[in-house]
Amino acid sequence: MQAAVYAAVGELVSEGHRDSVTVPQVAERAGVNPTSVYRRWGSIDALLSEVAVAALTGDEPLPDTGTIVGDLREWASIIATDITRPQRIVYLRAMVGARVGTPGACPCWDVREQQAELMLARAADRGETVPSVRQVLEHVIAPLYHHVVFGLDVDDEYAHHLVDDVLAMSTRVPAGR
């Protein structure tokens, strides 16, 4: 049921129905009973939020190459490849439009923050100098998403350039040193 509902949401959002999509529409498109959708997600906003996280953060394992340079480069490349797929571009743009006038936490951003924290902690434990989580989010992740939303080029070279830039700003000394 989850896969069918996720697919239905993706179709409706990509067709431009983000602002008007309802649980009954999603249920009809997914071929499930609306009661089942309400019981599982409670509201259309909760459903859209969950689908956004699933669609825009992927479920790929975090890279563990043995170096922060390798980890961040591979992670940025994975994200760049994922969010530049045509269906992701449409969905990302629709979700950005849906957030207009909705300040506050963004579940997708929260997932990326947790991923960055984990990678940076591993690198610090290895004794590497690491940037802050905020630096990684604002100077690697945000520009990738920004470029996709505004139709600018995103590829591995660009992703690696962002990583190199953020690592050049790293001045923090690893924990315990």
Interval 90-121: pLDDT, tens: 777 766 766 555 556 667 788 899 999 999 99
Banded model confidence at residue 16, pLDDT cuts 50, 70, 90: low
Closest to 141 in 3D by CA, of 163, 124, 121: 163
Q: Same structural domain for residues 100 and 163?
A: yes
Closest to 58 in 3D by CA, of 37, 31, 77: 77
Residue 177 has a pLDDT of 43
Q: Same structural domain for residues 75 and 46?
A: no
Residue 127 has a pLDDT of 95
Q: Is residue 174 part of a domain?
A: no
Domain-ending residue, one of 38, 53, 68:
53
Structural domain of 64: 58-168
The 8-class DSSP code of residue 117 comes to: H
Total count of residues recorded for the chain? 177
Q: Same structural domain for residues 161 and 114?
A: yes
Q: Same structural domain for residues 76 and 141?
A: yes
Q: Is residue 176 part of a domain?
A: no
CATH of the domain at 29: 1.10.10.60
Q: Is residue 20 part of a domain?
A: yes
Q: Is residue 30 part of a domain?
A: yes
With 0-12 CB in 10 A as exposed, 13-18 as middle and 19+ as buried, what is 26?
buried
Mean pLDDT of the chain: 85
CA atoms within 13 A on the CB side of 122: 16
Domains of the chain: total: 2
Q: Same structural domain for residues 128 and 69?
A: yes
Q: Same structural domain for residues 71 and 121?
A: yes
What digits encode the pLDDT tens for the residues 45-71? 778 777 777 776 766 789 999 999 999
The 8-class DSSP code of residue 153 comes to: -
Q: Same structural domain for residues 110 and 132?
A: yes
Q: Same structural domain for residues 78 and 22?
A: no
How many whole angstroms separate alpha carbon 63 and alpha carbon 87?
24
